[in-house]
Structure 1
């Protein structure tokens, strides 16, 4: 039976794809490494966002494993335009899975995206970690 560990990235300085971890986030990444090191992990897959990669890098180094970057694990885009009431829109995406903001991704589409990655990983790799974003994990 395959095991997949779904993990949200550590604390970050922002939401941009290149936002680094905070000092606290770096400490969290080290603790994550310590907590997961003894597990039978043989494959690491991460969102291409810097905060996700930086969160799993200490474990990759300790286990001497490469990190496979998977674009499908990137954060869901709520909207292509700034929204003053973005929390209301985000809430609506959980009420109505087909709700979409201008240029955004619905919960249904985002769920299908990450489910494909999980299904493929279950078929191909045992003992894998998928490093992704909180919004996707919620879905």
Structure 2
């Protein structure tokens, strides 16, 4: 069995630049609690989206197990649009209602999901039988979970906390269970 611990990043300071957006003061405090929760899970490997807020959320567990963080480009957040959207909640609802829809310069759910799932399959292949933390983002995380179980949708995404941790247990590439940590 392989356990993937999908960690939605902690609260960040808003900037338009996705790649370098850091955690807020609250986010840094919450990242410490993420580390404490994951210390109980016998983690072998830590991967992350290349976005700073995701890396900062899981760097404590990486230090704890004395491992470097492996960046996985596929686990970055979905690009909703290349231009600011007027109503974020409405925009999210529309792309979830119509999975092939992409807003200007953005990724559709189908495209983002395919990217995220490809990243998950790469991780499953490389770290088969290990316990792997993956620092990621809410929308791509739920799109990945939705691929394996359609009950994970936009309403589930709306209920996620920041940070949040879900453990997906796989037998090879077959999802066996999901639990919140």
Shorter-normalised TM-score: what interval? over 0.9
Q: Runs of 4+ in structure 1 displaced over 6 angstroms?
A: none
Q: Distance in 1 between matches of 2:31 and 2:109?
A: 28
Aligned to 1:37, the other structure's residue is in SS state helix
Partner of 2:2: 2
Deviates more, 1:31-40 or 1:98-107: 31-40
Cα distance in 1, alignment partners of residues 85 and 134 from structure 2: 29
Partner of 2:34: 32
- What CA RMSD, in Å, does the superposition of the two structures yield over aligned residues? 1.2
Alignment pair present for 1:136 and 2:137: no
Q: Which structure: greater strand fraction?
A: 2
Counterpart CA distance in 1 for 2:31 and 2:91 is 31
DSSP-derived class of the 2:139 partner: helix
Decide which of 40, 43, 57 is 1:41's aligned counterpart: 43
**5 Å matches for 1:88-103?**
88-103=90-105
Q: Which moved more, 1:5-14 or 1:78-87?
A: 78-87
What aligned pairs does 1:76-95 form with structure 2 within 5 A after superposition?
76-95=78-97
Q: How many residues align?
A: 139
- Deviation larger for 113-122 or 11-20: 11-20
2: CA distance between counterparts of 1:129 and 1:91? 28
User: Normalising to structure 2: TM-score of the pair?
Assistant: 0.73
Deviations 1:22-77 (A, max 9, x none): 11111111111111113121111101111001101111111101100111111111
1:13 is aligned to 13
Q: How far off is 1:83 after superposition?
A: 2.0
- Give unmatched runs, 5+ long, in structure 1: none
1:62-81 equivalences under 5 Å are 62-81=64-83
Any gaps of 5 or more consecutive residues in structure 2?
Answer: 144-181
Aligned to 2:154: none
C-alpha separation in 1, matches of 2:120 and 2:139: 16
Q: For 1:81 and 1:27, locate their aligned partners in 2 and report how far apart those are by CA, in whole Å.
A: 31
